[in-house]
Amino acid sequence: MMAVIDAHASRLMDVNSKAVTDAVLSIQELTKHFGRIRAVNNLNMEVHRGQVFGMLGPNGSGKTTTLGMLMGVVNPTSGGFNWFGEDPTPEVRRKIGAVLEHPIFYPYLSGQKNLELNAMIKKCPAENIPKVLEIVELTERRNDKYRTYSLGMKQRLAIASALLNNPTVLILDEPTNGLDPMGIAEIRGLIKKIAEDGKTIILASHLLDEVQKVCTHFCVLKKGNLVHTGPVHDVGRGAEIVEVGAEADNLDSLLVDFSGTSSLVKENHHFQVTLKEGFQSKDLNRFLFEKGVVANHLVTQKKSLEKMFLEILSESEKS
Amino acid sequence: MIELLKIDLKKLTSYRTFWVVCGLYFVTLGFGAASGMEALKWLARTFEDFGEELNIDRIPLYHFPDVWTNLIWLGGFLKVVLGIMVVISVTNEFAYRTVRQNVIDGMSRFEFLLSKILTNVLLALMSVAMIFVIGLVTGMIYSPSIEWSKVVTDLEFFPAYFLEIFFFLSYALMLGVLIQRSGLTIILLLLSKMIEMIILANIDDHLPWIVQFFPMQSIWDLIAWPFPRYAFQEIQDYVSPLTVFIVAAWTFIFNYVSYWKLKKADI
């Protein structure tokens, strides 16, 4: 798990160094009203090449509406967006592979025939079909009718279809929705595999830990407003919290004495130390050791995306 | 263009309902058109039962050039079967939401509609070809002598027949795009003629000249009822240019409304 985040972090560095001019998608003041409801409100955002960009938000926060506008099925009320610096046209959409909401195929056609049809629409050679079926491991079931597929297979066929044209950008909307834990793991593995090929991925989800596991950047939408955008990497930064336990009676006073302690809470048998900026758990460990105390419990807690997400939402509530 | 037609045909040719409905249509069209002599024989037998005599040889049902207008007029009744097929084809796209995925995958909304319109053109052309072949064969069999001047008479009814079918399929497509649900659309399609007749019954005393501009009336006028000629009555044995214009205008309006609705809708 840590290794994954680190891998992403290093990817992130590569990305950031050349990101500035590399906008795959830029959105300007995009707005959509459904009658009185403002589904999306003045959205400004950029996604750069190579990012795995997570869109977070509670249900009904405007994620799918935004993606629908980006893919030409929902007409914006005002504002606009560019793909690869170009105006959105059907030709540009063919460079993007997208699965919105849930997989959509002709139920009476086989997986193979559905993909053949999509290849014709995307104007790409049908020779790509065996390859994408292989990636999503549906080769064996390709001649069965789509309606006989399980939900996980439907999701995988949708990803296969999105990959058909070898797109540079992939849009996935709740790709693990309704799947069992094994299906979720499969789809996640698939997304990571695709991301390693250098594709830009936009992933809408309300599953925070999913975004934290696979994304490099994320934004948070709430009631159609953008309330946060930034790298996932930053989530772990800031004040570190360390849980400490040791067989020493004066542990609490020692911890208060430590120059890196910003606050101290006793919780069950352990102390929770919130460290000041610039201090890390190893500094605390060294300090205790020098005072002749050996910690038998030392756990560093990184702030989870979930915690941050809830903070962002409650902050936006106040303002 | 061909590519778009191929896309729509690919959707349809693996769909069993399509084969069943189209099969029924072309088989009924074929047998119906070819069994006119049997119908006349039956009529003659019925007359005999009442002690009357009917000389069926004096009714040149399948003689050139009568065969063309007779078959085209009868064939027009079956267009509703094709219309239902078109409704199913387009409302399925909304029910499965595949129209949305087609657009996401890179079709423009116009291209999506065009693929459906092209299929309509193809179905109309096939209907024309079917009637032409049956007319040609039965005409060859039953005409006492083959005179080419008679064979090529009244052929202008074929473009008119094409227009009639294409008009009706365009209408069915528009209803499908507007209503999006198959059951309701089919009911409305079937009732269209009747609804129009009720409206016309209420206004034709006041504005008789307006009647010919109504859509269902316009295809009714396009190809006149041919059989009164066997009762020694005058019939309209030509295609009226004004009616052609009215039908073509309606056809354009129907397809434009479909386009307008698809364009502005969130799909």
Cα angle for residues A160, A165, A168 (degrees, 5° grid): 100
Task: With CA atoms as reference, report the closest residue to B78 among B199, B161, B198, B184.
Answer: B161
- Residue environment code for A192-230, b if the CB has 16+ CB neighbours within 10 A, otherwise e: bebbeeebbbbbbbbbbebbbbbbbbbbbbbbbbbbbbe
A10: pLDDT strictly greater than 50 = no
Say what the pLDDT of residue A188 is.
84
Domain ranges of chain B: 2-264
Tell me if residue A267 falls in helix, strand or coil.
Answer: strand
| Predicted-complex ipTM score | 0.89
Say what the pLDDT of residue A14 is.
46
Say what the pLDDT of residue B86 is.
97
Q: What is the mean pLDDT of residues B52-74?
A: 85
- Cα(A263)–Cα(A275) distance, rounded to whole angstroms? 7
Dihedral sign from CA coordinates of A84, A90, A95, A96: positive
Task: With CA atoms as reference, report the closest residue to B40 among B239, B227, B244.
Answer: B227
Inter-chain contact A118–B105, Cβ cutoff 8 Å? yes
Minimum distance, in Å, between the CA of residue A126 and any CA atom of chain B: 13
- Cα(B221)–Cα(B23) distance, rounded to whole angstroms? 28
Say what the pLDDT of residue A118 is.
95
Q: Which of A9-18, A100-109, A227-236 has the lowest mean pLDDT?
A: A9-18
CA distances from A83 to A65, A72, A118, A168, B177 (A): 17, 12, 21, 11, 30
A64-94 tens-digit pLDDT? 999 999 999 999 999 999 999 899 999 999 9
Share above pLDDT 90 across residues of chain A, in percent, rounded to a whole number: 39
- Cα(A315)–Cα(A113) distance, rounded to whole angstroms? 49
- The structural architecture, per CATH, of the domain A2-235 is 3-Layer(aba) Sandwich (3.40)
Q: pTM for the whole thing? A: 0.85
What is the pLDDT confidence band of residue A239, given thresholds at 50, 70 and 90? low
A16: pLDDT strictly greater than 50 = no
What is the pLDDT confidence band of residue A154, given thresholds at 50, 70 and 90? very high
Residues of B in contact with A108 (CB under 8 A): 14-16
Q: How many helices (H) and strands (E) does chain B have?
A: 12, 0
Residue B57: CB atoms within 10 A of its CB come to 10
CA distances from A246 to A128, A231, A282, B2, B45 (A): 60, 36, 15, 78, 113
Tell me if residue A109 falls in helix, strand or coil.
Answer: coil
- Cα(B121)–Cα(B52) distance, rounded to whole angstroms? 47
Name the average pLDDT for chain A: 85
Q: Where are the beta strands (DSSP E) in chain A?
A: 23-34, 37-48, 52-56, 78-83, 96-99, 169-173, 200-205, 217-222, 225-231, 241-246, 261-267, 270-275, 295-301
A2: pLDDT strictly greater than 60 = no
- Cα(A155)–Cα(A102) distance, rounded to whole angstroms? 7
Domain ranges of chain A: 2-235, 241-302
Task: With CA atoms as reference, report the closest residue to B267 among B54, B100, B19.
Answer: B100
B191-228 tens-digit pLDDT? 999 999 999 998 888 888 889 999 999 999 999 888 88
User: Which of B3, B103, B111 minimises the CB distance to A73?
Assistant: B103
Minimum distance, in Å, between the CA of residue B15 and any CA atom of chain A: 7
Q: Does B3 touch chain A if contact means CB atoms closer than 8 Å?
A: yes
Say what the pLDDT of residue A3 is.
44
Q: What is the 3-state secondary structure (H, E, C) of A23-86?
A: EEEEEEEEEEEECCEEEEEEEEEEEECCCEEEEECCCCCCHHHHHHHHCCCCCCCEEEEEECCE
Residues near B15 by Cβ (< 8 Å), separated by ≥ 6? A106, A108
A236: pLDDT strictly greater than 80 = no
Inter-chain contact B10–A113, Cβ cutoff 8 Å? yes
Say what the pLDDT of residue B119 is.
97
Say what the pLDDT of residue A185 is.
86
What is the pLDDT confidence band of residue B65, given thresholds at 50, 70 and 90? confident
Residues of A in contact with B105 (CB under 8 A): 93-94, 98, 118, 121-122, 161
Q: Does B6 touch chain A if contact means CB atoms closer than 8 Å?
A: yes
Phi, psi of A229 (to 5 degrees): -150, 140
A101: pLDDT strictly greater than 60 = yes
With CA atoms as reference, the chain B residue closest to A75 would be: B266
Inter-chain contact B10–A94, Cβ cutoff 8 Å? no
Copy the structure tokens of residue A9: 């972090």
What is the pLDDT confidence band of residue A19, given thresholds at 50, 70 and 90? very low
Share above pLDDT 90 across residues of chain B, in percent, rounded to a whole number: 68
Say what the pLDDT of residue A261 is.
84
Share above pLDDT 70 across residues of chain B, in percent, rounded to a whole number: 100
Residue A21: CB atoms within 10 A of its CB come to 8
Q: Does A125 touch chain B if contact means CB atoms closer than 8 Å?
A: no
Residues of B in contact with A98 (CB under 8 A): 104-105
Say what the pLDDT of residue A13 is.
45
- Cα(A319)–Cα(B214) distance, rounded to whole angstroms? 61
Share above pLDDT 70 across residues of chain A, in percent, rounded to a whole number: 91
Say what the pLDDT of residue A316 is.
80
A307: pLDDT strictly greater than 70 = yes
Asked whether A91 and A165 are in contact (CB, 8 A), the reply is no
Say what the pLDDT of residue A319 is.
66
Asked whether A226 and A198 are in contact (CB, 8 A), the reply is no
B84-108 tens-digit pLDDT? 999 999 999 999 999 999 999 999 9
What is the pLDDT confidence band of residue A237, given thresholds at 50, 70 and 90? low
Residues near B180 by Cβ (< 8 Å), separated by ≥ 6? B91, B94, B95
**Domain A241-302 falls in which CATH fold?**
Alpha-Beta Plaits (3.30.70)
Say what the pLDDT of residue A238 is.
63
- Residue environment code for B174-196, b if the CB has 16+ CB neighbours within 10 A, otherwise e: bbbbebbebeebbebbeebeeeb
* Higher pLDDT pick, B249 / B227: B249
Q: Which amino acid is at A198?
A: G
User: Which of B11, B108, B264 minimises the CB distance to A117?
Assistant: B11
Inter-chain contact B98–A109, Cβ cutoff 8 Å? no
What is the pLDDT confidence band of residue B245, given thresholds at 50, 70 and 90? very high
Task: With CA atoms as reference, report the closest residue to B262 among B177, B170, B146, B140.
Answer: B177
Say what the pLDDT of residue B135 is.
92
Say what the pLDDT of residue A315 is.
82
Say what the pLDDT of residue A11 is.
46
CA dihedral A134, A138, A141, A143 (to 10 degrees): -60
Query: What separation, in Å, do the N-terminal and C-terminal C-alpha atoms of chain A show?
Result: 34
Whether residue A88 has a cis bond before it, omega within 30° of 0: no
Q: Which of A244-258, B98-112, B120-134, B253-267 has the lowest mean pLDDT?
A: A244-258
